[in-house]
Amino acid sequence: MTSTGGERGNDEQWHVECHLAVAVDREARLALEISPAVRPGIAVEQTLEVAVDGVPLEATACASGHGGTIHLVRSPRGALTIDLVADATRSAIAEVAPTEGIDLGQLTYRRQSRYCPSDELVSFASHEIGEVTPGPELLHAVREWVADRLIYEEGSSGPFDTAVDSLFAGRGVCRDFAHLAITMLRALSVPARLAAVYAPGLAPMDFHAVVEAHVDGRWWVVDPTGLAPRSSLLRISTGRDAADTSFMTVLDGEVWLNFTEVVAYTHGELPPDDHVTPTRLR
């Protein structure tokens, strides 16, 4: 598989913002994954401000894998605000050679996970997708199958819904589309993972979830929703499913999310995307 029109030129730039308002009813510790991931060829400049009742709080950064960053925050009771403003630049980097054999990451992303019970759908996936050789044709077949089986409907799924729940419901949001695609790919022995991204062009604007699948020695991005051009996506976090990529995890305490605002755009026009051309997420 080769990448052609799905890659963009030099010095691509993004501007992203995330604003969260949280009511802390009992002292809490939070893990935030909202910063753009820093990866080869990606430079990020950002400002993260966290405050409770107007009093600044410290946010401790630690690596989460795949270039992502987790910020740990301890907040007393009160009105907590979280404001991220970031600018990212992607410059040209040397082409990475396809990996030979298999590594631990590929093994991890072959296995079923919390929201992607792929072992339950092995026979089903083979029946539905048929005999398609792993490669661009298989990725396209799974993407089209998921897009045909699910209706995108805001508020149609809950935080505990698995890919099987979404399949039976016939509807969902981006994470449900991603979970079902990941589950089908793993059931067909293709390593697949979820990437949380900022998505210029997405409407309504929010955090977005897409799929990365490993074929022909590289990870390729698949978006069953087709709601944003893949080459404009900016990675935040990567994991087995949404359990690994939540933008906010409550480690202890009691909190309520009252408000979320996400802004993401690139300088210049958004590129067209046929959702067929092989494309990689940096």
What is the 3 state secondary structure string of 48-117?
EEEEECCEECCEEEEEEECCEEEEEEEECCEEEEEEEEEEEEECCCCCCCCCCCCCHHHHHCCCCECCEC
Of 282, 268, 248, nearest to 19 by C-alpha is 248
Q: What distance in Å separates the CA atoms of residue 238 and residue 249, rounded to the nearest whole number?
A: 15
Contact at 8 Å (CB) between 209 and 239? no
What pLDDT does 79 receive? Answer: 98
Cβ neighbours around 237 below 10 Å, total: 25
- pLDDT by residue for the chain (282 residues), tens digit each? 333 334 444 468 999 999 999 999 999 999 999 999 998 889 999 999 999 999 999 999 999 989 999 999 999 999 999 999 999 998 865 566 666 666 667 899 999 999 999 999 999 999 999 888 888 999 999 999 999 999 999 999 999 999 999 999 999 999 999 999 999 999 999 999 999 999 999 999 999 999 999 998 899 999 999 999 999 999 999 999 999 999 999 999 999 999 999 999 998 889 899 999 999 997
What pLDDT does 184 receive? Answer: 98
Q: What distance in Å separates the CA atoms of residue 164 and residue 175, rounded to the nearest whole number?
A: 13
Cβ neighbours around 204 below 10 Å, total: 7
Residue 171, classed as helix, strand or coil, is strand
What pLDDT does 94 receive? Answer: 52
Residue 164, classed as helix, strand or coil, is helix
Q: What distance in Å separates the CA atoms of residue 219 and residue 21, rounded to the nearest whole number?
A: 35
Report the chain's C-alpha Rg in angstroms.
19
**Preceding omega of 204 cis (within 30 degrees of 0):** yes
What pLDDT does 106 receive? Answer: 84
Domain 104-244 grouped into CATH 3.10.620.30 = yes
Angle, helices 174-187 vs 122-129, to 10°: value is: 90
Which residues, in sequence order, are CB contacts of 135 under 8 Å at separation 6+?
A: 1, 215, 216
What pLDDT does 18 receive? Answer: 98
- Full DSSP string of 178-222: HHHHHHHHHHTT--EEEEEEE-TT-SS---EEEEEEEETTEEEEE
42 - beta bridge partners? Answer: 90
Residue 127, classed as helix, strand or coil, is helix
Fold type of domain 12-91+248-266? Immunoglobulin-like (2.60.40)
Q: What distance in Å separates the CA atoms of residue 139 and residue 215, rounded to the nearest whole number?
A: 9
Sequence ranges of the domains in the chain: 12-91+248-266, 104-244
What pLDDT does 93 receive? Answer: 59
